[in-house]
Amino acid sequence: MRLYIVRHGKANDAPGPCAPPGSADFGRELTPRGEAQAKFLAARLRTLGRPPARIIASRFPRALQTAHCIQQSLGVNLVTDARLEVDHEVAEAIAVIEDHARTSPPGDPIMLVGHNPQLGELIGVLCSGLPPMELILKTGELVGIDVRPTALIGSGKVVERLRMSDEAEDSVAGAVDVLGVKR
Protein backbone atom coordinates (compact mmCIF):
# COMPACT_ATOMS: atom_id res chain seq x y z
CA MET A 1 0.00 0.00 0.00
CA ARG A 2 1.30 3.46 -0.85
CA LEU A 3 1.20 5.87 2.07
CA TYR A 4 1.77 9.59 1.60
CA ILE A 5 2.83 11.43 4.74
CA VAL A 6 2.57 15.22 4.55
CA ARG A 7 3.59 17.77 7.13
CA HIS A 8 1.42 20.87 6.88
CA GLY A 9 2.74 23.91 5.01
CA LYS A 10 4.51 26.84 6.68
CA ALA A 11 2.20 28.40 9.27
CA ASN A 12 1.94 31.73 11.04
CA ASP A 13 3.40 31.90 14.53
CA ALA A 14 0.19 33.45 15.90
CA PRO A 15 -3.39 32.18 15.58
CA GLY A 16 -5.68 33.55 12.89
CA PRO A 17 -8.44 36.06 13.70
CA CYS A 18 -11.14 33.38 13.88
CA ALA A 19 -9.30 31.16 16.36
CA PRO A 20 -11.16 30.39 19.59
CA PRO A 21 -9.75 32.11 22.69
CA GLY A 22 -6.97 30.13 24.37
CA SER A 23 -6.17 28.08 21.29
CA ALA A 24 -2.92 29.67 20.15
CA ASP A 25 -1.42 26.57 18.55
CA PHE A 26 -4.71 25.23 17.21
CA GLY A 27 -5.61 28.47 15.43
CA ARG A 28 -2.40 28.86 13.41
CA GLU A 29 -3.09 29.17 9.68
CA LEU A 30 -0.91 28.85 6.58
CA THR A 31 1.29 31.72 5.48
CA PRO A 32 1.42 32.62 1.76
CA ARG A 33 4.49 30.35 1.54
CA GLY A 34 2.54 27.52 3.22
CA GLU A 35 -0.25 27.94 0.68
CA ALA A 36 2.32 27.83 -2.15
CA GLN A 37 3.83 24.67 -0.65
CA ALA A 38 0.40 23.00 -0.59
CA LYS A 39 -0.28 24.05 -4.20
CA PHE A 40 3.13 22.71 -5.23
CA LEU A 41 2.38 19.31 -3.68
CA ALA A 42 -1.08 19.28 -5.28
CA ALA A 43 0.40 19.97 -8.72
CA ARG A 44 3.08 17.30 -8.32
CA LEU A 45 0.61 14.70 -7.00
CA ARG A 46 -1.52 15.10 -10.13
CA THR A 47 1.42 13.71 -12.13
CA LEU A 48 1.96 10.61 -9.97
CA GLY A 49 0.71 7.26 -11.12
CA ARG A 50 -0.73 6.37 -7.72
CA PRO A 51 -2.50 9.35 -6.18
CA PRO A 52 -4.13 8.85 -2.79
CA ALA A 53 -7.69 7.55 -2.74
CA ARG A 54 -8.35 9.34 0.56
CA ILE A 55 -6.76 12.13 2.57
CA ILE A 56 -6.92 11.93 6.36
CA ALA A 57 -5.95 15.16 8.12
CA SER A 58 -5.57 16.75 11.51
CA ARG A 59 -8.33 19.25 12.34
CA PHE A 60 -5.77 21.99 13.05
CA PRO A 61 -6.29 24.76 10.45
CA ARG A 62 -2.76 24.62 9.01
CA ALA A 63 -3.04 20.87 8.34
CA LEU A 64 -6.62 21.09 7.12
CA GLN A 65 -5.77 23.97 4.76
CA THR A 66 -2.87 21.95 3.33
CA ALA A 67 -5.05 18.86 2.93
CA HIS A 68 -7.93 20.82 1.40
CA CYS A 69 -5.67 22.33 -1.27
CA ILE A 70 -4.44 18.87 -2.26
CA GLN A 71 -7.95 17.40 -2.06
CA GLN A 72 -9.37 20.05 -4.38
CA SER A 73 -6.66 19.37 -6.94
CA LEU A 74 -7.05 15.58 -6.86
CA GLY A 75 -10.81 15.37 -6.28
CA VAL A 76 -10.47 12.72 -3.57
CA ASN A 77 -12.27 12.19 -0.28
CA LEU A 78 -10.99 14.24 2.70
CA VAL A 79 -11.75 13.32 6.29
CA THR A 80 -10.35 14.58 9.59
CA ASP A 81 -9.08 12.51 12.48
CA ALA A 82 -8.16 13.86 15.90
CA ARG A 83 -5.50 11.13 16.26
CA LEU A 84 -3.31 13.11 13.81
CA GLU A 85 -3.30 16.27 15.90
CA VAL A 86 -0.49 17.86 17.88
CA ASP A 87 0.69 15.92 20.95
CA HIS A 88 -0.73 12.57 19.84
CA GLU A 89 1.40 9.44 19.94
CA VAL A 90 2.74 7.69 16.86
CA ALA A 91 0.65 4.63 17.83
CA GLU A 92 -2.45 6.69 17.06
CA ALA A 93 -1.22 7.44 13.53
CA ILE A 94 -0.56 3.72 13.04
CA ALA A 95 -4.12 3.02 14.18
CA VAL A 96 -5.41 5.47 11.54
CA ILE A 97 -3.50 3.57 8.83
CA GLU A 98 -4.73 0.20 10.13
CA ASP A 99 -8.33 1.45 10.19
CA HIS A 100 -8.01 2.59 6.57
CA ALA A 101 -6.49 -0.74 5.51
CA ARG A 102 -9.38 -2.66 7.12
CA THR A 103 -12.14 -0.54 5.55
CA SER A 104 -10.76 0.19 2.07
CA PRO A 105 -9.99 -1.88 -1.03
CA PRO A 106 -6.65 -3.71 -0.71
CA GLY A 107 -3.68 -1.48 -1.51
CA ASP A 108 -5.77 1.70 -1.67
CA PRO A 109 -3.23 4.57 -1.29
CA ILE A 110 -3.85 7.11 1.48
CA MET A 111 -2.41 10.42 2.60
CA LEU A 112 -1.96 11.56 6.19
CA VAL A 113 -1.61 15.31 6.77
CA GLY A 114 -0.47 16.35 10.20
CA HIS A 115 2.36 17.51 12.42
CA ASN A 116 5.81 16.76 13.78
CA PRO A 117 7.04 15.05 15.86
CA GLN A 118 4.33 12.41 15.27
CA LEU A 119 4.89 12.16 11.50
CA GLY A 120 8.69 11.99 11.75
CA GLU A 121 8.36 9.26 14.38
CA LEU A 122 5.87 7.45 12.13
CA ILE A 123 8.42 7.35 9.30
CA GLY A 124 10.96 5.90 11.75
CA VAL A 125 8.57 3.19 12.93
CA LEU A 126 7.50 2.23 9.41
CA CYS A 127 10.98 2.36 7.83
CA SER A 128 13.46 1.02 10.35
CA GLY A 129 17.12 1.69 9.70
CA LEU A 130 16.78 5.13 8.12
CA PRO A 131 19.43 7.72 8.98
CA PRO A 132 18.20 10.41 11.41
CA MET A 133 18.09 13.13 8.74
CA GLU A 134 15.52 11.12 6.76
CA LEU A 135 13.19 11.08 9.77
CA ILE A 136 12.79 14.86 9.77
CA LEU A 137 9.88 16.39 7.90
CA LYS A 138 10.13 20.05 6.97
CA THR A 139 6.99 22.11 6.57
CA GLY A 140 5.23 21.38 3.30
CA GLU A 141 7.11 18.12 2.74
CA LEU A 142 5.66 14.87 1.41
CA VAL A 143 7.19 11.45 1.97
CA GLY A 144 5.83 8.52 -0.06
CA ILE A 145 6.26 5.12 1.54
CA ASP A 146 5.28 1.66 0.34
CA VAL A 147 4.16 -0.47 3.31
CA ARG A 148 2.63 -3.88 3.91
CA PRO A 149 -0.77 -3.06 5.44
CA THR A 150 -0.82 -6.35 7.34
CA ALA A 151 2.61 -5.71 8.93
CA LEU A 152 3.20 -1.96 9.02
CA ILE A 153 6.03 -1.68 11.52
CA GLY A 154 9.40 -1.97 9.80
CA SER A 155 7.89 -2.85 6.41
CA GLY A 156 8.14 0.59 4.82
CA LYS A 157 10.34 1.70 1.98
CA VAL A 158 10.65 5.40 1.13
CA VAL A 159 9.92 5.80 -2.59
CA GLU A 160 9.72 9.59 -2.88
CA ARG A 161 10.19 12.91 -1.11
CA LEU A 162 8.75 16.15 -2.43
CA ARG A 163 9.03 19.71 -1.17
CA MET A 164 9.04 23.13 -2.74
CA SER A 165 12.55 24.55 -2.62
CA ASP A 166 13.39 27.12 0.03
CA GLU A 167 14.70 29.42 -2.69
CA ALA A 168 11.48 29.35 -4.72
CA GLU A 169 9.23 32.35 -4.77
CA ASP A 170 6.03 32.10 -2.75
CA SER A 171 4.14 31.03 -5.83
CA VAL A 172 3.77 27.73 -7.59
CA ALA A 173 5.10 29.22 -10.83
CA GLY A 174 8.81 29.08 -9.93
CA ALA A 175 8.55 26.25 -7.46
CA VAL A 176 9.88 22.97 -8.70
CA ASP A 177 12.09 20.96 -6.40
CA VAL A 178 12.15 17.22 -5.95
CA LEU A 179 14.27 16.45 -2.92
CA GLY A 180 14.97 12.97 -4.11
CA VAL A 181 13.40 9.89 -5.55
CA LYS A 182 14.39 6.52 -4.17
CA ARG A 183 13.22 3.49 -6.07
d(CA 42, CA 62) in angstroms, rounded, equals 15
Helix 61-74 to helix 32-45 angle (10° resolution) is 30
Helices (H), 25-147: 32-45, 61-74, 90-103, 118-126
Its pTM stands at 0.87
User: How does residue 168 score in pLDDT terms, banded at 50, 70 and 90?
Assistant: confident
How many separate domains does the chain show? 1
Do you find a cis peptide bond into 105, omega within 30 degrees of 0? no
Residue 62 scores a pLDDT above 60: yes
- Per-residue pLDDT of 85-113, as tens digits, reads 999 999 999 999 999 999 988 889 999 99
Residue 116 scores a pLDDT above 70: yes
- How crowded is the C-beta side of 173, counted as CA atoms within 13 Å? 2
Helix (H) or strand (E) holding 76: none
> Mean pLDDT score of the chain, rounded to an integer?
86
Average pLDDT over residues 43-55: 89
CATH number of the domain to which 43 belongs: 3.40.50.1240
Query: Which pLDDT score is estimated for 160?
Result: 92
Give me the residues paired with residue 48 across strands: none
Residue 47 scores a pLDDT above 70: yes
Average pLDDT over residues 154-178: 72
Q: Describe the strand order of the beta sheet including 2-7 as a list of residue ranges.
A: 77-80, 54-57, 110-114, 2-7, 142-146, 157-162, 178-180
d(CA 62, CA 157) in angstroms, rounded, equals 27
Beta strand extents in the chain (DSSP E only)? 2-7, 11-15, 28-30, 54-57, 77-80, 110-114, 142-146, 157-162, 178-180
Of the chain, the percentage scoring pLDDT greater than 70 comes to: 86
Q: Give me the domain span that covers residue 80.
A: 2-180
User: How does residue 134 score in pLDDT terms, banded at 50, 70 and 90?
Assistant: confident
Residue 2 scores a pLDDT above 50: yes
